[in-house]
Amino acid sequence: MEYIAQHRNSEASNPEIQIASGDTQPTIIIDESESTGASGNEIRLKIDEFYLQEKNPSFTSSNNDNNSVSLAWRNLSYTVMNSKTKQKTNIVQDVSGVVKPGEVMAIMGPSGSGKSTLLDLLAGRKEPKLTSGEIYLNGRPGQVKYVSTYVMQEDALMGVLTVRENIQFAADLCFPSSYSAKERKARVRAIITEFGLDRVADSKIGTVFVRGVSGGEKRRASIATQVLTLPKIIFLDEPTSGLDSAASYNVMKAIVQMARNYKLTVIASIHQPSTETYSLFDKLCILGRGRTLYMGKREKAIAYFQELGHVVPPYSNPADHFLYLINSDFMTDKTRAEEYITNFIVSFEKSDANKLLQEEIKSLIERHKEDTDTRIISSSTTTRYQLSFFKQTSILLKRSFINSMRNILVFWVRVILYVALGLLIGTTYWRIGYDQINIMERFSGEYFSVAFLSFMSIAGIPGFLEERLVFQRERGNGFYSVGPFVLANTIISFPFIFIISLSFTAVIYPTVGLHNGGKHVILFVVYLFLCLNVAEGMVVFIASLVPIFIASLALTAFANGFWMVFGGYLVRPHSIAKGWKWAHYIDYQKYAFEAILSNDLKGLDFNCERLTDPSPDRMYNCYYGDKSGRSATFPGEAVLEELGYTNIRPALWAVILIAMTFVFRLAFFAVLRFKKNHN
């Protein structure tokens, strides 16, 4: 059933949302002008909720928590084995807790206390073999990952896109196709308002070249893109890290408000919240050495520690005080430090707070024992992705296109570099002509074009790494699969690489004075284009394998250095040592270089040197071809033959270059598909 929202400004007297049921398309009629104090945004929110519930029952509402999910866990442990000592270490041990819909819990503790590990455990992101304990969704064992979203610490946004565009693309990717463009836009508007981003909605996120929104706004935008679908449980890994206290407060406030409005269950690991941020939490889980030092209501924590004899001094931040209190890392006496923390652990185990917690978990399980409603556990598992492969690819293509057009780092920096370099080469070689002494210059120019242009594909690494981070986040949240991303990335590179090849050729070809004629110019562009596609494929493959900027830069530079050695110019094919011949045959630069060489030299005649003291039998000195001294010229073919570039088959070489592009793109797919992410 479809619903259409209509805004009517004058006639309706009832400010409430009305549903005018028709036969097929009931219409929501809204009067914004005479609302009873509800702002346009509030009305919009109501429409959005309405849409979300009608279209997908897994979306929750502020007034209806039927679909909300409580999360409880009991005796959760994570144990790793030290590969050297073969000893087991509990990173997290016997941790229990419960968070109900609408509540926000903070996991706090000193560095290394196990906050991230616990968050990952709860989110189902840890190796099950190393995990023990139980996790309950609404009191029943269930798969958390199907009803939750994990918000990573790093902002994963496209810098050249505006806040709204980033969120809109996420909405286009994560909502099912039964949502109209208008509905998705409405949801985007609503979440922008919820996260207080209206003022900067049309500002770019920012890049190294363009100053964008503030760190806090960027963090809010990043979170907004990940919670658009109102997942029932939200995990946030250090959502305020790197932000000042005001920005941290605003980020947390937006999250808390959303949790309240939509009855979402929220768990966030947090380092050192300010007093204001701390006061936003409903519950606290304080960890020390992987054990629970306190788990319960935030407002009862002060009294709890007071009972243990640790009074929070007046006017001090309770969070700071607790963290200071439980930090034994800097105690010089290790036995005393151990005892000190053990006291906190034992005190909590024996505490009323713990008894209350255990009873709460028990009663939650009891209450849902007879529950036969499996909707929560199974609702999101029926279809893995909301959109078809084709739709996913087309949206990603559109976003990649905008990113490539606007982000100078992706392609344009290469266009500028190549044109500048083309001008440099062109003006240096300036019309090299057809004398035999110029032959090696042709070789050098053509080799340089292939090798340097391929090498400079590394300029695309920063842009790709940014895109990969967004991909990783969106794939993690189940927006789309690897195939559409790889396909979109591949397709979008073609026109830009073509522009690069064309612009370089346009500059270099006439200035250097390569083989004249339309066919030769076109073939030069084609070979360069095919070569750069392989180079680009190799860059994305390496950068996805090692997604660390400096490391992928170094690896790609090494790989290109390797190909340069075996490309057939620095060492001619027949001179390459036997043991390295294989490298020559798998070197894409060989195929491009030889095809370009053949395109230039074949069909050209070069002038031999006229002797200063000619005799009737010997008038010329020819480096190649007929060396009898009677011929004034020799063909380009003779040069190739004598220098060992025999058996060049340009059409086959072109096919090999296409195949190599395919292989690298396939490897790129395999890496994204099968490599485990550790960041």
Q: How far is the CB of 126 from ligand ATP (least distance, A)?
A: 9
Q: Letter for the amino acid at 87?
A: Q
Q: How far is the CB of 42 from ligand ATP (least distance, A)?
A: 38
In the complex with ligand ATP, the residue whose CB is nearer, 116 or 621, is 116
Closest CA to 99 of 331, 322, 360, 344: 360
Q: Letter for the amino acid at 381?
A: T
DSSP string, 7-36: EE-SS----S-EEE--SS--EEEEESTT-S
Q: How far apart are CA 375 and CA 381, in angstroms?
A: 10
Rounded to whole angstroms, what are the CA distances from 175 to 64, 107, 258, 476, 496?
21, 31, 19, 15, 30
Q: How far is the CB of 112 from ligand ATP (least distance, A)?
A: 4
Residue written as token pair 């060992």: 644
Q: Letter for the amino acid at 78?
A: Y
Q: How far is the CB of 338 from ligand ATP (least distance, A)?
A: 15
Strands 605-607 and 633-635 turn out to be antiparallel
CB atoms within 10 A of CB 506: 14
Q: How far is the CB of 130 from ligand ATP (least distance, A)?
A: 8
Backbone angles phi, psi at 328, to 5 degrees: -110, 10
Strands 620-621 and 633-635 turn out to be unpaired
Cβ–Cβ < 8 Å for 663, 588: no
Q: How far is the CB of 659 from ligand ATP (least distance, A)?
A: 41
Cβ–Cβ < 8 Å for 537, 665: yes
Residues that bind ligand ATP (CB under 6 A): 80, 91, 109, 111-117
Tokens representing residue 205 in the block: 């996120």
Cβ–Cβ < 8 Å for 255, 236: yes
390: burial class by Cβ within 10 Å (0-12, 13-18, 19+)? exposed
Q: How far is the CB of 678 from ligand ATP (least distance, A)?
A: 10
Residue written as token pair 């463009």: 181
In the complex with ligand ATP, the residue whose CB is nearer, 112 or 629, is 112
In the complex with ligand ATP, the residue whose CB is nearer, 201 or 326, is 326
Q: Compute the C-alpha angle 79/85/90, nearest 5°.
A: 20
In the complex with ligand ATP, the residue whose CB is nearer, 109 or 296, is 109
Tokens representing residue 77 in the block: 């442990």
In the complex with ligand ATP, the residue whose CB is nearer, 112 or 476, is 112
Q: How far is the CB of 290 from ligand ATP (least distance, A)?
A: 7
In the complex with ligand ATP, the residue whose CB is nearer, 124 or 206, is 124
Q: How far is the CB of 310 from ligand ATP (least distance, A)?
A: 21
Closest CA to 527 of 662, 655, 411: 655
Q: How far is the CB of 235 from ligand ATP (least distance, A)?
A: 13
In the complex with ligand ATP, the residue whose CB is nearer, 112 or 483, is 112
In the complex with ligand ATP, the residue whose CB is nearer, 384 or 678, is 678
Any idea what DSSP says for residue 290? T
In the complex with ligand ATP, the residue whose CB is nearer, 91 or 376, is 91
In the complex with ligand ATP, the residue whose CB is nearer, 241 or 245, is 241
In the complex with ligand ATP, the residue whose CB is nearer, 113 or 229, is 113
Residue written as token pair 């929110």: 45
In the complex with ligand ATP, the residue whose CB is nearer, 91 or 530, is 91
Q: How far is the CB of 114 from ligand ATP (least distance, A)?
A: 4
Contacts of 172 (CB under 8 A, 6+ apart): 184, 395
Residue written as token pair 């010089």: 332
Q: How far is the CB of 564 from ligand ATP (least distance, A)?
A: 40
Residue 44's SS3 state is: helix
In the complex with ligand ATP, the residue whose CB is nearer, 147 or 323, is 323
Please report how many Cα atoms fall inside a 13 Å half-sphere around the Cα of residue 611, on the Cβ side: 16
Question: Which stretch of DSSP H or E encloses residue 555?
Answer: helix 549-566
Q: How far is the CB of 509 from ligand ATP (least distance, A)?
A: 56
CA dihedral 257, 261, 266, 270 (to 10 degrees): 0
In the complex with ligand ATP, the residue whose CB is nearer, 91 or 252, is 91
Q: How far is the CB of 347 from ligand ATP (least distance, A)?
A: 21
Tokens representing residue 296 in the block: 């319960």
Q: How far apart are CA 226 and CA 465, in angstroms?
A: 19
Q: How far apart are CA 460 and CA 464, in angstroms?
A: 6
